[in-house]
């Protein structure tokens, strides 16, 4: 009897101890907070990572950032090479931002290099992705901006811009190639006086970057794509011939938004798109301040609507020229007109589609009381 017990306990113990094989002690890992991919020589990539370390002492915590850069054949290869370079084992589980250089995404398909992120169960799928003008390596080499390490800084920067509807909410997961029928856009980072700054967004055609939009246009672009975030503030020019320059601008906050996107196919297989945007806004800044009068108010509404319509048309044209289908028109065709979809060559057809774009606007609030 006691022998049976002994073997039973022994067997259970041995079976359970197998679990220790999968242990990944937090203290042994080196955690990457930001990674970057650049074009390397001979078809290789240059991968750069910044490892964030905190040392906790009695006087407080100290943040440091350690940068490593390797030339590798693929992302996984790069991981291995970095792992050889650093002390401890490499872990990307806490990656916050992945930077890809403009040169890289303009010249080649970046999807193969993201593949490893979709396989690893500890993968940081919520990490943000951004395109950098110039090399990602140089951006990461800043190590620290103020008291924040570079990874945290760019993450917080992108986070705050996402909230103000300046850049789309994109992370590794939303980029997954299974999600077809529309093109994504990524935040576009530039190095401005030694500080990473978002200058707008980069538009993609499929997996290649084709154009950029500046911050003002990207806000309108996001409104047209019905991707409004927590808060959207637009500052528009209103020509005011009687007053000096300071009176030229009006700031409006978008309170609510209704977008109508209609893709119609006529009998002769002509694709037409009707894009309507209805905004209800509140005026948060208006130096000339005559909005108590209804005629002035309606006049302002008219001016703003016209201006927004013109800007929208320009943006749509730019998108068409770049072959960027950010509104997901392809997806509508796929689902509602599958026969037509099979016949056409989308990349040729898309720039030719006539867009009927219009923005209407209603001011619902002009003061501080709501």
Partner 1 sequence: MGFFSQIFSNNRHVGKSAARKSRVAPIEKNVEAALQNNISYVDQALFHTEDLVSRPINYLSEQGCLLYLNSVCDPDKIQEVILKPLLKAQGVNPERDITANLVEKHTNLEPVIDLMIRGYAVLFLEGREECYAIQVVFLNNRAVVEPANEKSIQGAHDGFIESMQVNLQLVRKQINSRNLVVRQYTLGKMTKTDASIVYLNDLASPELVKEIERRITSINADNLMNGYLVLEYMEDKSLSPFPQILQTERPDRVAGNLLEGRVALLMEGTPAALIMPVSFFVFYQSPDDYNSRSLAGSFIRLLRLFSFFIAIMLPAYYIAVVSFHYEVIPMELFYQIKGSVEKIPYPPILEALFMELTIELLREAGMRLPAPIGQSIGIVGGLVIGDAVVRVGLVSYPMIIVVALTGIASFVVPSHEMSYSVRLLRFPMMIAAALLGFIGIVFSFTFMMVHLCKLESFGTPYFAPAAPMRLKDWKDAVVRFPFWKLNERPIDPQPQKLVQETRAKEERGDDRG
- Which CB sits closer to partner 1, 61 or 244? 61
Which residues ranging from 91 to 130 are in contact with partner 1 (CB under 8 A)?
Answer: 93-94, 96, 122, 124
Q: How far is the CB of 172 from partner 1 (least distance, A)?
A: 14
Nearer to partner 1, 56 or 294 (CB): 56
Measured distance CA(317)–CA(314) in Å, rounded: 5
* Distance in angstroms (rounded) separating the CA atoms of residues 134 and 51: 21
Residue where the block lists tokens 């103000």: 164
Closest separation in Å from C-beta 27 to partner 1: 5
Does residue number 24 form part of the binding site for partner 1 (CB under 8 A)? yes
Residue 54 sits in the site that holds partner 1 (CB under 8 A) = yes
CB closer to partner 1 out of 124 and 323? 124
Q: Name the β-bridge partners of 149.
A: 144
Subset of 125-154 contacting partner 1 (CB under 8 A) = 152
- Tokens describing residue 303: 């001016």
If one asks whether residue 42 binds partner 1 (CB under 8 A), the answer comes out as: no
> Are the C-beta atoms of 11 and 107 separated by less than 8 Å?
no
Min dist CB 74 to partner 1, Å, is 23
Radius of gyration of the chain, Cα coordinates, nearest whole angstrom: 26
**What tokens appear for 301 in the block?**
């509404």
Decide: helix, strand or coil at residue 107: helix
- Decide: is 23 part of the binding site for partner 1 (CB under 8 A): yes
CA distances from 326 to 40, 89, 266, 329 (A): 30, 40, 22, 8
What mask, x for binding partner 1 by CB under 8 A, covers residues 56 to 75?
Answer: x-x--x-x------------
CA distance 224 to 359: 9
Judge contact between 32 and 48, C-beta under 8 A.
Answer: no
17 binds partner 1 (CB under 8 A): yes
Residue 65 or 218: which CB sits closer to partner 1?
65
Considering the rule CB under 8 A, would residue 53 count as an interface residue with partner 1?
A: yes
* Residues at the interface with partner 1 (CB under 8 A): 16-17, 19-20, 22-27, 29, 31, 52-56, 58, 61, 63, 93-94, 96, 122, 124, 152
């Amino acid at each position: 009897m006691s022998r049976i017990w002994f073997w039973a306990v022994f067997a259970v113990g041995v079976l359970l101890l197998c679990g220790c094989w999968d242990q990944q002690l937090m203290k042994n890992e080196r955690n990457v907070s930001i990674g970057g991919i650049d074009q390397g020589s001979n078809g290789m990539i240059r991968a750069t990572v910044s490892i964030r370390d905190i040392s906790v002492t009695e006087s407080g915590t100290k943040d440091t950032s350690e940068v490593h850069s390797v030339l590798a054949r693929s992302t996984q290869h790069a991981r291995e090479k970095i792992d050889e370079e650093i002390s401890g084992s490499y872990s990307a589980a806490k990656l916050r931002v992945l930077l890809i250089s403009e040169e890289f995404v303009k010249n080649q398909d970046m999807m193969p290099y993201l593949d490893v992120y979709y396989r690893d169960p500890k993968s940081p799928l919520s990490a943000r992705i951004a395109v950098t003008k110039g090399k990602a390596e140089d951006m990461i080499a800043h190590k620290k901006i103020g008291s924040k390490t570079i990874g945290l800084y760019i993450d917080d920067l992108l986070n705050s811009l996402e909230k103000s509807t300046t850049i789309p909410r994109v992370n590794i997961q939303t980029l997954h190639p299974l999600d077809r029928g529309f093109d994504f856009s990524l935040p576009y980072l530039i190095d401005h006086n030694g500080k990473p700054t978002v200058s707008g967004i980069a538009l993609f055609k499929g997996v290649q970057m084709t154009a950029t939009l500046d911050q003002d246009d990207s806000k309108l672009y996001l409104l047209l794509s019905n991707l409004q975030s927590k808060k959207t503030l637009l500052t528009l020019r209103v020509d005011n011939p009687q007053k000096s320059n300071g009176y030229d601008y009006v700031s409006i906050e978008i309170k609510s938004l209704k977008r109508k996107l209609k893709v119609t196919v006529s009998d002769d297989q002509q694709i037409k798109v009707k894009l309507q945007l209805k905004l209800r806004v509140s005026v948060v800044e208006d130096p000339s301040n005559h909005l108590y009068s209804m005629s002035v108010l309606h006049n302002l509404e008219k001016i703003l609507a016209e201006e927004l319509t013109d800007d929208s048309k320009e943006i749509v044209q730019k998108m068409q020229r770049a072959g960027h289908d950010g509104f997901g028109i392809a997806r509508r065709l796929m689902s509602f007109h599958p026969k037509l979809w099979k016949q056409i060559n989308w990349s040729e057809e898309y720039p030719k589609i006539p867009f009927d774009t219009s923005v209407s606007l209603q001011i619902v609030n002009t003061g501080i009381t709501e």
